[in-house]
Amino acid sequence: MIEMAPVESGLYQRGFAGDCFNTAWHIAQILGERASVGFASRLGSDGLSNQFMGDLRQDGIDISLIHQDDQRMMGLYLIELDGVERSFHYWRQTSAARVMADDDVWLDKISRQSGVIHVSGITLAILSPKARQRLLGALSKARDDGAIVSFDPNIRPTLWSSLEEIQETLCEIFSITDIALPSFDDEQKHWGDSSPIATIERLRSAGIGEIIVKNGDQAVACHIGGQTRFIDTPAVSNICDTTGAGDAFNAGYLGARLLGQDPIACVNAGQRLSAEILRHFGARMPKSAVPSL
């Protein structure tokens, strides 16, 4: 999506962002040539969409799984800050991404070309029910072919018709999820979980073996390799904006995991990347901040 992020004195900076894209972009920057990272979606064919494609190429991201639509454009969102806490305003009814799963050929390419696929609840929420089922089918096929499916529920209630639709759809994708990366506030609000451990137990019962529960500045609860543990989250100074913190954590965790690091190191990598994004406005840090990580 096109992002309008506040900077100062009523001014906004235009960029590009979106939860799965934020995660993919940060993984690509921290891993460089150590991994091939692509972004799969649908864009318009207008000037801004073409600029976004050019930015992806420049940032080392594979764009072979992006298709362009002459009839649609990118969505747009604006960040509103209350102190450092954010809320969002969206304009995306005609977004090209809403019809990205209408193309069976494109879905087949995803299922055949991917080693790790990261998807979010927002991805599912913006699709029509039929397209959602097609995407779930493609993810299931990819998993059968050996891909790892990573999923962040990232629940945005306004994108769904009801709580029942949220729960039914998420239960479907839980059944094909290998790595779950939920945020406890979402899970508590929409599932009634009393604690991060309750979230872990619910997701374990769905058959997920690797579960990382983010919880703001509280300890990260994780269940990996049959063991459940808590890993303290270090304090962060100079916070500007909480936008994208969860996406950055996902990137740090998955990036370290792709390098074969141990579970605690993977969580620590997620915490470091999340802490850095908090010190910047918008959902992605400047590229100049990445080398220090």
| CATH code for position 121 | 3.40.1190.20
What's CA 213's distance to the chain center, in Å? Answer: 14
Mean residue pLDDT across the chain: 93
Among the residue ranges 81-90, 163-172, 211-220, the one predicted with the least confidence is 81-90
pTM higher than 0.85, yes or no?
yes
pLDDT at residue 97, as a whole number: 94
**86-108 pLDDT tens trace:** 788 889 888 999 999 998 888 98
Predicted confidence band of residue 149 (pLDDT cuts 50, 70, 90): very high
- Is a pLDDT exceeding 90 seen at residue 242? no
Does residue 207 lie within any of the structural domains?
yes
pLDDT at residue 110, as a whole number: 82
Tokens for 169, please give them. 């759809």
Give the domain range for residue 279. Answer: 26-39+98-285
Average pLDDT over residues 21-43: 94
Does residue 163 lie within any of the structural domains?
yes
247 catalytic? Reply is yes
Does residue 86 lie within any of the structural domains?
no
pLDDT at residue 193, as a whole number: 97
Average pLDDT over residues 150-158: 95
Tokens for 278, please give them. 């908090």
pLDDT at residue 162, as a whole number: 96
**33-79 pLDDT tens trace:** 999 999 999 999 999 999 999 999 999 999 999 999 999 999 998 98
Q: Helices H, strands E: what count in the chain?
A: 10, 12
Say which residue, 286 or 219, is predicted with more confidence.
219
Question: How many domains does the chain divide into?
Answer: 1
pLDDT at residue 241, as a whole number: 81
- Is a pLDDT exceeding 90 seen at residue 8? no
- Is a pLDDT exceeding 80 seen at residue 83? no
- Is a pLDDT exceeding 80 seen at residue 85? no
Among the residue ranges 22-31, 79-88, 117-126, 264-273, the one predicted with the least confidence is 79-88
Does residue 252 lie within any of the structural domains?
yes
Give the integer Cα–Cα distance in Å for 249 and 255. Answer: 10
Does residue 18 lie within any of the structural domains?
no
Instruction: Tell me 218's DSSP state.
Output: S
Predicted confidence band of residue 155 (pLDDT cuts 50, 70, 90): very high
Q: 82, 178, 247, 262: which is the annotated catalytic residue?
A: 247
Does residue 261 lie within any of the structural domains?
yes
Share of the chain above pLDDT 70, in %: 99
Q: Mapping DSSP to helix (H, G, I), strand (E, B) and coil, where does residue 12 land? A: strand
Q: Mapping DSSP to helix (H, G, I), strand (E, B) and coil, where does residue 229 land? A: strand
- Match 């479907």 to its residue by tokens: 172
Does residue 87 lie within any of the structural domains?
no
Does residue 123 lie within any of the structural domains?
yes
